[in-house]
Structure 1
Amino acid sequence: MIILYLVLAVICLMVITAFYGKFNLKKHWIGVAALILLAGLMAIFLRQTFFVTGSPYHEIHKQVASTDLSSEAVNGIKIDQILSSETQKKDFNLQKASDKGLEEEIKILVPKKPDKATYWVSMEKADKNRVIHIEFDSDKLATSRGIKFGDSVDKVTGTYGSAYRNLTRSDRYEQELVYEDKDNNIELRFGFWNDKVEMIWLTALDKAPI
Structure 2
Amino acid sequence: MQPLIAIGASAGGMEALSTIFAALPADFPAAILVVTHVGARKSLLPALLAKTSALPVRHAQDREPIRPGRILLAPPDLHMLVSITAGQPMVELTRGPRENHTRPAIDPLFRSAAAALGPQVVGVILSGYLDDGTAGLQAIKACGGMALVQEPEDAVAPSMPDSALRNVAVDRRLPAAGIAPALLALVKDMAASVADRTEAPAWIAVENRFAR
Q: What is the TM-score of this pair, normalised by structure 2?
A: 0.22
Q: Greater CA radius of gyration, 1 or 2?
A: 1
Bigger relative contact order (CA 8 A; separation at least 6): 2
TM-score w.r.t. length of structure 1: 0.22
